[in-house]
Chain A
Amino acid sequence: AQSVAQPEDQVNVAEGNPLTVKCTYSVSGNPYLFWYVQYPNRGLQFLLKYITGDNLVKGSYGFEAEFNKSQTSFHLKKPSALVSDSALYFCAVRTISSGSARQLTFGSGTQLTVLP
């Protein structure tokens, strides 16, 4: 079975400061890892993904994430937070070995609030 944990329900950060949203995963086999963002009453928007290769992945809106296999983590980061980054962030994982379309598991989400 695969699972994703987002240990923080809420993250607050001041505008201009760096932000980190944490994600750890558990899978058998090599993972595909994703970050999505959701604004109120909207669908999820894709930010970035890790498939293979460089452990540092760059995505939309200045976000990046670092894949750490030994710590089974895929934390989302941004060097300088904007108030407009305030939203709900979801980490998701699926396994490369799985041929099933269903094998995408989401974390419970982290509400990021950037304070002006």
Chain B
Amino acid sequence: DGGITQSPKYLFRKEGQNVTLSCEQNLNHDAMYWYRQDPGQGLRLIYYSQIVNDFQKGDIAEGYSVSREKKESFPLTVTSAQKNPTAFYLCASRDSLNTGELFFGEGSRLTVL
């Protein structure tokens, strides 16, 4: 079945460590997104990519990095520069239609110990 796969589902990290969250889609979508979700704050956009080898900063990009070397993959690295990384991270994709809705993965919950 087509969809978006995020891994790992749960991740624990010590302070000062970088971690990479995986996001893979087989929907043949051009655009991919990373959101951060905190209780009571809705979703905030971290990075997005409209095409391979191109990506743009969202509203809260500081302390994060991404790459888009393949259409299917959009990994997110949470660096040690991110001051408060404990959160639920959601990856999404959308087709090129201007009216298209987002398709979301199941999320990755990162906890910094």
Contact of B106 among A36, A42, A96, A101 (CB under 8 A): A42
Nearest chain B CB to A100 CB, angstrom units: 8
* Known pairs A49-B99, A104-B102; A90 contacts B43 (CB<8 A): yes
* Known pairs A49-B99, A108-B42; A102 contacts B106 (CB<8 A): no
CB pair A43 B48 closer than 8 Å: no
By beta carbon, the residue of chain A nearest B106 is A43
Nearest chain A CB to B51 CB, angstrom units: 9
CB pair B42 A101 closer than 8 Å: no
Q: In the assembled complex, which residues on chain A have CB atoms less than 8 Å from the CB atom of B17?
A: none
* Known pairs A41-B107, A44-B90, A102-B58; A90 contacts B42 (CB<8 A): yes
Main secondary structure of the interface of A (DSSP, over half): loop
Q: In the assembled complex, which residues on chain B have CB atoms less than 8 Å from the CB atom of A9?
A: 40
Measured in the bound complex, the distance between the Cα atoms of B56 and A101 in whole Å is: 10
Q: In the assembled complex, which residues on chain B have CB atoms less than 8 Å from the CB atom of A32?
A: 99
Q: Is B84 an interface residue (CB 8 A)?
A: no
Q: Give the size of the chain A interface in residues (CB under 8 angstroms).
A: 21
Nearest chain A CB to B18 CB, angstrom units: 24
Nearest chain A CB to B54 CB, angstrom units: 10
CB pair A101 B31 closer than 8 Å: yes
Measured in the bound complex, the distance between the Cα atoms of B98 and A51 in whole Å is: 10
Measured in the bound complex, the distance between the Cα atoms of B107 and A42 in whole Å is: 6
Which B residues from 43 to 57 make CB contacts under 8 A with A? Answer: 43, 45, 48, 50, 56
Measured in the bound complex, the distance between the Cα atoms of B45 and A42 in whole Å is: 18
Q: In the assembled complex, which residues on chain B have CB atoms less than 8 Å from the CB atom of A96?
A: 98
Q: In the assembled complex, which residues on chain B have CB atoms less than 8 Å from the CB atom of A45?
A: 104
Q: In the assembled complex, which residues on chain B have CB atoms less than 8 Å from the CB atom of A101?
A: 31, 33, 48, 50, 94
4 new A-B contacts, CB < 8 A, other than A43-B92, A43-B105, A45-B104, are: A43-B90, A46-B103, A49-B99, A102-B45
